[in-house]
Structure 1
Amino acid sequence: MTVPRPTARGAAVGDAHPSLRERVYVELRERIIEAEYPAGTRLVEREIAEELRVSRVPVREAMQRLESEGFLSVRPRRGSVVADFGPRDAEYLFDVRENLEGLAARLAARHATPARLRDLERLLARARKAAESGRLREAVSLNADFHRQIVELSGNPLLVDLMAPLDSRLRRLFRLTSAVSDGEPMCGAHERLYAAVRDRDEDAAEALARAHVADTRAAATRLLAARRGQDGTV
């Protein structure tokens, strides 16, 4: 599989700021997360550089970074390809998420300010509206933002730093495994967690966060395993 033709977002990346290297990295990462580059897609440095109208140096640096983060893998005679995201990858991610997000929720209940709680409430309202309207991609993005904001509300910069590298993997997982019918259950779980944080109930916030991760783990790994079976992979 070769690189797909440019999408609507594929404007000249070299025309904008911040740093060119960061722009190219974000562009390629988003294409992988949104499945514009599905697993197994071969990324050719020269072709991407021509498409984005940049030199090959920032493309090479972006691809190296994506490889270090697990989005790309190097295969013999094929070069860089988009890495698969299977049930085992999800299990690794959920093992870490359950513990760190439980801690984040507990700390958020302890430290969240009224202003930040209002921001979170507005985010939840937007997510519910998107889910009820069937706008799956928007709902997935907003729900991922909710998880990120809970971590930020913890007030613990080390926890924020630890969770930051997982954010993109979490978004990719949500994009691969979410369906329109997931909107109501996910919004409901997030709203209950928000209520516990708002009420300063640290025990409930941690328990709800852990339960939510456990529920999404079961559904996501089941779906990924079923898809892998359909593809004939092991």
Structure 2
Amino acid sequence: MTEVAAAFESEVERVTHTLRDEILDGVRAPGSRLVERELAADLGVSRIPVRDALKALVAEGLVTPRPRSWAVVREFTPADVADLNEVRSALEVLTFRLAANRRSRDGLQRLRAVLDEEIEASRRGDVVAARHAAADFHEVVTSIAGNDLLFEIDGLLRSRIRWLLVQHEDTGQVAVEHEALYEAIAQRDIARASTLILAHMGNIRYLDDPTWRDEDPQLSGS
């Protein structure tokens, strides 16, 4: 890759990363317009990296394309969330079981580090940072599960699942539950990890529509 091509690639990655974070953090609300010309001016780049970034975010499921040169931030419906939770519930149980069985010292250190970040952010009231760290916790667990195919599948869904994970409202309770999950993994307690992750998914309440827990038996714990 030439130096110019490498610089262009990094610009696309920067724009994609910036827009992704703004969507996940709610800076760009669901349904808001994403116009190439306006985004290019805001971010100080040409329209080409913006166009490529929007294509990447469409593929990640965070953006809905519109004709010509604009798109909108995806509006997740209750049906979208129910579908996502059905898939996530199956993947999470497998992921945490594998992580408890296969965790290494290095994996535990990485998991402890991100958990400490989550706890500290929650204690100081930094909700955005706490949610980011909480989502990172799940991603680190996936990485230490040691299954390449599972990691690949997670990559396909990562942005949508991360969107779901950063919607929770009680960062303190999530951190407490993550602490218990960490201990189960550290002790190689596969059965407890399975039980805790199911309870964890049932306990999380989401900001946009709390009735999702009542509509979805998996989330409501029934």
TM-score range, shorter chain: 0.7 to 0.9
Deviates more, 1:162-171 or 1:30-39: 162-171
Cα distance in 1 for residues equivalent to 2:174 and 2:151:
22
Q: Is the 8 A contact 1:39 1:84 kept in 2?
A: yes
Q: CA deviation at 1:220?
A: 2.4
Amino acid at match of 2:28: Y
For residues 12-47 of structure 1, the C-alpha deviation after alignment (integer angstroms, 9 at most, x for no partner) is xxxx78622222211111111111110111111111
Relative to structure 1, the CA distance from residue 49 to residue 224 in structure 2 (aligned partners, 3 Å threshold; closer, same or farther) is: farther
Cα distance in 2 for residues equivalent to 1:93 and 1:137:
22
Deviates more, 1:165-174 or 1:185-194: 165-174
Q: Is the 8 A contact 1:39 1:82 kept in 2?
A: yes
Question: Which of residues 185, 188, 191 in structure 2 aligns to 1:200?
Answer: 188
For residues 47-79 of structure 1, the C-alpha deviation after alignment (integer angstroms, 9 at most, x for no partner) is 112222222122112112222322222357994
Question: Which of residues 98, 113, 137 in structure 2 aligns to 1:122?
Answer: 113
Question: Aligned to 2:206, what secondary structure does the other structure show?
Answer: helix
Task: Provide structure 2 residue ranges, at least 5 long, that are not aligned to the other structure.
Answer: 1-6, 213-222
Cα distance in 1 for residues equivalent to 2:172 and 2:56:
36
Cα distance in 1 for residues equivalent to 2:92 and 2:165:
16
Cα distance in 2 for residues equivalent to 1:17 and 1:145:
27
Cα distance in 2 for residues equivalent to 1:136 and 1:221:
13
How does 1:90-109 map onto structure 2 within 5 Å? 90-109=81-100
TM-score when normalising by structure 1: 0.79
Question: Which of residues 208, 211, 215 in structure 1 aligns to 2:203?
Answer: 215
TM-score when normalising by structure 2: 0.83
Question: Aligned to 1:84, what secondary structure does the other structure show?
Answer: coil
Structure with the larger RCO, 1 or 2 (CA within 8 Å, 6+ apart): 1
Cα distance in 1 for residues equivalent to 2:78 and 2:207:
5
Say what the alpha-carbon RMSD is for the aligned residues.
Answer: 2.4
Question: Which of residues 29, 40, 45 in structure 2 aligns to 1:38?
Answer: 29
Q: CA deviation at 1:197?
A: 0.7
Match of 2:172 in 1: 184
How does 1:46-85 map onto structure 2 within 5 Å? 46-75=37-66, 79-85=70-76
Aligned length: 206
Q: Is the 8 A contact 1:97 1:213 kept in 2?
A: no
Relative to structure 1, the CA distance from residue 100 to residue 25 in structure 2 (aligned partners, 3 Å threshold; closer, same or farther) is: same
Relative to structure 1, the CA distance from residue 124 to residue 77 in structure 2 (aligned partners, 3 Å threshold; closer, same or farther) is: closer
Cα distance in 2 for residues equivalent to 1:78 and 1:116:
43
Deviates more, 1:113-122 or 1:39-48: 113-122
Percent sequence identity is 37
Question: Aligned to 1:54, what secondary structure does the other structure show?
Answer: coil
Amino acid at match of 1:150: V
Cα distance in 2 for residues equivalent to 1:24 and 1:173:
22
Task: Provide structure 1 residue ranges, at least 5 long, that are not aligned to the other structure.
Answer: 1-15, 227-234
Q: Is the 8 A contact 2:32 2:72 kept in 1?
A: yes
